[in-house]
Structure 1
Amino acid sequence: MLTIDQMRELSPAEARLLIREGKLDQMGSVADGYMQVNMVCLPEKYADDFREFCRRNPVPCPLVSETAVGDPTVVLDVQKHKLLENGNVATDIPKYCVYHGGDLVSVEKNIVEQWKENYVGFLIGCSFSFEGALHKAGFPSRYRIKGTVVSMYKTNIKLCPSGVFKGYYVVSMRPIKADKIEEVRKITSKYGQCHGSPIAWGYEEALEIGIKDIAKPDYGDPIEILEDEIPVFWGCGVTPQYALVEANLPEEVYSHHPGFPLVLDIHENDFFGL
């Protein structure tokens, strides 16, 4: 079992190898400083609608890249940056969700056999990418320290629809001291394609966006909020997965399991020009 510090020091390639071997299943502390992404895989005939869906909803669905059609080992370069070398989107995520007709039918360790020649994978920016920056600035996320999964909630914030895709925001939550919100906002605002600044904070705003019980997240694990802290909410890459379920597609479709993204080879400094 790796310590949190050992996980933070892993290279992306080392992390992906451990995942393929079934030896790593906690992603919040892995490869600090490197981009992490969520994933949705669906038939190519829905690809244009999905790209437009992401374009219309850039905060919860920031599209980073996509795979070649039918080939999960090829991830398209972004701004001449290599995102994934010697990797496989169908094997290098700890857990995959398999959906059919809007229902979760199984959770798999890989989807190599399921990835058909007419399927394409979309990579969505993940807030885990800025966890290293928060840690360095003195704001280590409690879920990372405890080895749990970040709390995520469905909301009442409507998405802009595109084709068959519609639905509502999903948000992630981190407890932050009330007098530190502006500092945290400035740090995460630099990570626009990983959800950027928080969209809401505090208990009143939680109710306004439809979260009735913070102790009961829809995805991930509950986390303690101390007396001098308030809940802070970011857009979340589980949103397109939720929209995928709501689309109720007749074909089998796939996604990462909430809280278990893919780590890329590109450092945040290179991707965001920090």
Structure 2
Amino acid sequence: MESASDEMRRVFGREGMQDAGHVRRLIRQGLWTGHTSGLADDHVQGNLVILPQAQADDFLRYCQRNPKPCPLLAVSEPGQPLLPRLGAGIDIRTDVPRYRVWRDGELVDEPSDITALWRDDLVSFVIGCSFSFEQALMEAGLPLRHVEQGRNVAMFRTNVPTEAAGPFSGPLVVTMRPMRASAVIRAVQVTSRFPNVHGAPVHIGDPSLIGITDLSKPDYGDAVDVMPDELPVFWACGVTPQAAIQQARPAFCITHAPGAMLITDLLNSQLASF
């Protein structure tokens, strides 16, 4: 059976996997609808929330009050599907591998193209993604098991509340990466340099302290093993807004499917603080 990593190499080509423009073109053609971990490693990837203008101000305040899980990279003008700040020719209607369509807080569809759903009042929010600091972790000699296995990162809803804004509130969602104890301090140092893509971990160790009961059953993404000599390390996650959307129950909303991100032309190194 073909692994996810092998499938990526077959679809994109070994070199094409790291070319952001090439990856977006194949996504736009509907040739890739899976997760984007391991694609265009040098480039910033983004979580996506699209809301009608009537709810956009409240959601903007929600992001501003919760910068750890919701670090904003770009906000569009109403009805504008292009995001030139993030890349030449990026069209938010076609350039994400898989979307989620929400009506009254309920997930109703997961299309690979939202052109037919586009409206003149829609505002797009692109939020930083932890995939951006994974390259720095690997360059620092810190292996990531989900990348090695070609899987999506494991994501969990916690019992940690976010700060409300208007109708938007809900639990913090986190990503989890297992690491040996000797690597954790280095991981904190590395990811602290990337505040625009969630920054340092929010929790290390016992998952029950943040309301996670079973690491083998993530709420989103794929499970990975945590070895006896490893600690689970948790970072704030850009899927947090989807939990807030489920609670706010807007009449209409579009997000990315967890792990299926917008790949931008920005380089991860541009977001690093020194």
Measured against the shorter chain, the TM-score band is over 0.9
Please tell me whether residue 37 in structure 1 is matched to residue 40 in structure 2: no
SS of corresponding position for 1:108: coil
Please give the root-mean-square deviation of Cα atoms over the aligned residues, in Å.
Answer: 1.7
Please tell me whether residue 121 in structure 1 is matched to residue 124 in structure 2: yes
Contact 2:142 2:183 in 1 (8 A): no
- CA separation of 1:91/1:108 partners in 2, compared to 1, >3 Å: closer, same or farther? same
Contact 2:127 2:238 in 1 (8 A): yes
- Name which of 195, 200, 204 aligns with 2:198: 195
SS of corresponding position for 2:188: helix
Deviation string for 1:109-164 (max 9, x for gaps)? 01111121000110010000111111111123111121111100000101110011
Comparing 139-148 with 91-100, which one deviates more in the overlay?
139-148
The separation in 2 between residues aligned to 1:196 and 1:5, in whole angstroms, is 31
Q: Counterpart of 1:10?
A: 18
The separation in 2 between residues aligned to 1:62 and 1:90, in whole angstroms, is 21
Deviation string for 1:235-254 (max 9, x for gaps)? 000001111121011x2210
Comparing 136-145 with 94-103, which one deviates more in the overlay?
136-145
The separation in 1 between residues aligned to 2:62 and 2:257, in whole angstroms, is 20
Please tell me whether residue 158 in structure 1 is matched to residue 161 in structure 2: yes
Deviation string for 1:224-267 (max 9, x for gaps)? 11121111000000001111121011x22100001111111011
Contact 2:16 2:22 in 1 (8 A): no
TM superposition shift of 1:9: 5.1
Could you list the runs of 5+ residues in structure 1 that have no partner in the other structure? 78-82
- CA separation of 1:8/1:212 partners in 2, compared to 1, >3 Å: closer, same or farther? farther
- Name which of 138, 141, 155 aligns with 1:138: 141
Contact 1:33 1:130 in 2 (8 A): no
TM superposition shift of 1:211: 0.2
Q: Counterpart of 1:257?
A: 257
SS of corresponding position for 2:157: strand
AA matched with 1:29: G
Contact 2:196 2:271 in 1 (8 A): no
Structure-to-structure mapping, 1:9-88, within 5 angstroms: 10-24=18-32, 25-75=34-84, 77=85, 83-88=86-91
Q: Counterpart of 1:222?
A: 223
Aligned structure 1 segments of 4 or more residues deviating by more than 2 angstroms: 1-9, 21-26, 270-274
Q: How many residues align?
A: 265
Q: What TM-score do the two structures reach when normalised by structure 1?
A: 0.92
TM superposition shift of 1:23: 2.8
> Matched residues, percent identical?
38
Could you list the runs of 5+ residues in structure 2 that have no partner in the other structure? 1-6
Q: What TM-score do the two structures reach when normalised by structure 2?
A: 0.92
Comparing 28-37 with 3-12, which one deviates more in the overlay?
3-12
